[in-house]
């Protein structure tokens, strides 16, 4: 009888100890979790989104390069076809670099400073809010690029990878050229996608509207953008030759 009671006691004690151990492990796991603030979560989400986009772009570049290589291999014995493909690639690169006039579907954004009536209601210490600044144009251009705009111009000035925009008194200086308001921004790309993104609530243009900035956005089947007319020559860089 005593042996039976001892066995039951040991069995019950083992169950209790097992429950306590599993609870301890569970609590330890919970305590090791990392909780993010809303800001940290947004930063992590944006970084993950950027990495995903970069990977997608790299995969697309790899696919394009591989397809191009396969095409050259197929026509390597036909010099005329090879020459035609090379001319096509040069022409495409010239468009990307901004050296040729281009046309395509897209959107046109017209922006001008807030009217006098709105400016009169603004705090005298914040009169800058009723004016369009270089940062406003940069944010608008970056938004267009992020949503897939292939070509952008501001008041006829082609935007390139080396373009610079700074405030210059009552003007904005774009690549050394002073341009006044109103600003006429042209963007070539998927017109529906560009229009939807740029007119969405919470976007940068909606913030400009809160400041009284006058904005009008239209879709177009034929947006024309002229070639870049600035100096594209490089004076100081040269090819780095690899040592054999």
| Strand, coil or helix: 147 | coil
| Strand, coil or helix: 98 | coil
| 46 located within any domain | no
Exposed, middle or buried, 181 (CB in 10 Å: 0-12/13-18/19+)?
middle
| 148 located within any domain | yes
Closest to 220 measured CA to CA, from 167, 134, 151, 121: 151
The reported pLDDT for the residue numbered 2 is 45
CA angle 103, 109, 112 (to 5 degrees): 140
| 39 located within any domain | no
The reported pLDDT for the residue numbered 76 is 66
The percent of the chain in helix, strand and coil, each rounded to the nearest 5, is: 50, 20, 30
Q: How many domains does the chain have?
A: 1
pLDDT tens-digit series, residues 6-29: 566 556 666 666 666 555 544 444
- Ordered strands of the 171-174 beta sheet: 165-168, 171-174, 177-179
Closest to 154 measured CA to CA, from 124, 177, 129, 127: 177
| 236 located within any domain | no
Structural domain that includes position 132: 103-225
Of 13-17, 42-46, 187-191, 213-217, the least confident: 13-17
| Mean pLDDT (the chain, rounded) | 79
| 191 located within any domain | yes
| 97 located within any domain | no
For residue 196, give both structure tokens: 């939807």
pLDDT tens-digit series, residues 135-171: 899 999 999 998 999 999 999 999 988 888 888 767 8
N- to C-terminal Cα separation, the chain: 90
Q: State how far the Cα of 182 lies from the Cα of 140, in Å rounded to an integer.
A: 14
- Which residue has better confidence, 64 or 8? 64
| 180 located within any domain | yes
For residue 132, give both structure tokens: 């369009």
- Which residue has better confidence, 229 or 154? 154
Distance, C-alpha 241 to centroid of its chain = 33
Dihedral angle at the C-alpha atoms of 7, 8, 10, 16, nearest 10 degrees?
Answer: 160
pLDDT tens-digit series, residues 68-96: 777 767 766 677 776 777 777 777 777 77
CATH of the domain at 167: 3.30.70.1880
Average pLDDT over residues 53-76: 76
E strand or H helix at 179:
strand 177-179
Of 33-47, 48-62, 124-138, 166-180, the least confident: 33-47
Q: Which residues pair with 172 in a beta bridge?
A: 167, 179
| 240 located within any domain | no
């Amino acid at each position: 009888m005593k042996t039976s009671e001892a066995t039951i006691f040991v069995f019950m004690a083992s169950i209790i100890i097992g429950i306590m151990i599993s609870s301890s492990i569970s609590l330890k796991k919970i305590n090791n979790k990392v909780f993010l603030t809303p800001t940290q979560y947004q930063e992590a989400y944006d970084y993950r989104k950027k990495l995903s986009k970069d990977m997608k772009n790299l995969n697309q570049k790899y696919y394009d390069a591989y397809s191009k290589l396969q095409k050259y291999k197929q026509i390597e014995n036909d010099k005329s076809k090879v020459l035609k493909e090379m001319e096509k690639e040069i022409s495409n690169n010239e468009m990307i670099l901004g050296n040729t006039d281009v046309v395509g579907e897209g959107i046109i954004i017209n922006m001008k400073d807030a009217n006098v009536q709105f400016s009169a209601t603004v705090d005298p210490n914040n009169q800058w809010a009723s004016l369009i600044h270089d940062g406003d144009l940069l944010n608008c251009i970056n938004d267009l690029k992020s949503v897939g705009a292939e070509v952008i111009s501001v008041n006829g000035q082609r935007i390139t990878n080396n373009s610079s925009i700074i405030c210059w008194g009552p003007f904005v200086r774009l690549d050394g050229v002073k341009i006044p308001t109103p600003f006429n921004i042209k963007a070539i790309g998927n017109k529906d996608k560009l229009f939807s993104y740029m007119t969405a609530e919470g976007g940068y243009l909606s913030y400009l509207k809160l400041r009284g900035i006058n904005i009008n956005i239209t879709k177009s089947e034929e947006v024309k953008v002229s070639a870049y007319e600035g100096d594209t020559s490089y004076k100081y860089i040269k090819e780095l030759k690899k040592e054999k």
